[in-house]
Structure 1
Amino acid sequence: MMMTERGMVAPAAGGSVLADFDAILAAAAPELAGHVQAMSFDADTGRLDVAPDAPAYGTQLRWRAPKLIAAANEKVSGANVRAVHVLAPAPAKAGLATAAATLAPQPTVPTAPVERRTPPEGYRRAIEAHRQAAWPSLADPAIAEAVERQTAAMRELSCRAFPEPDAVAGDAPAPIEQARAQRRRQAAASEAALRRARAERAARKGQNADDVIDRR
């Protein structure tokens, strides 16, 4: 008896789910209205196949699947929808006006060749004279000379303020090496003077000790 009832009721319920899918979608996810189509419904497994027209709507549809199932079972009596399967995005169906406009042949308008008129002789002579004429120089020679003198004076002041270092010969040591050598020589001279001072001090101490012994 149960199989008989399923055989009689399930197809009607499946057709109602597909027929009322727009109302079901509006109740569950109104923001997806017009972007999702119901493709098929398997009454035996309770699987509803739907196809969005863009991947973004497919993602939203997966999040709203529980609400869609609840709305389908509420709108259609005995539908028994258990799962929603989101198919690959399918483009929206074009309207009749769009399809007719696409299929209708467009009339071709013949294009007339563009005829170029020959310019008058006077116009051509004027253009040729304009091309051959040399443009006069707008610069004042006095101003140009003043600019050159000012540039030379600024260059001379810059050389005086920032003189370039003398060129170092190929065999001569670099300034840093010269400074290091000079410091080494100064250190050696200081050490030699310190040694002489120590020797003289020791010599004086030795003489004082001899004087003390002689007095005794």
Structure 2
Amino acid sequence: MQGANVRTLHVLAPAPVKAGPATAADDPNAPTVPVAPVQRRTPPDGYRRAIEAHRQAVRPSRVNPAIAEAVERQTAAMRELSRRAFPEPDVVPDDAPASIEVSRAQRRRQAAATEAAALRRARAERAAREAGTAVAVPQSAALRTTA
């Protein structure tokens, strides 16, 4: 039957499943069938050779060097922006860990600066609302953010 073509394909609906409480798991009188491990046949030699040849084939690189270079530039720029936005804390000499008290005092100072800036902004916004003008609140100092 060479040259035979498929002209139609009939897709059948799945067989209806019997719904109800009488299932094999619920029936205590149902015979139990021991589960045997699946025995797989050894694949033919031709199949194994084809798989091995496929694994050894070297795929040509599809990476455009210009795109790879642009990705590297973009990554470097993002790292620089991240470094500027979240600078590393001052390094303690000899890589000694900072004491807890110093860390707590630094956090308190940062929290106080943030609170003062928030109060200044809230006061300026309230004054602008009462005066009926647009809010123009300049940031006096850059605030650090933590994740």
Q: TM-score surpassing 0.5?
A: no
More strand by share: 1
TM-score, with structure 2 as normaliser: 0.30
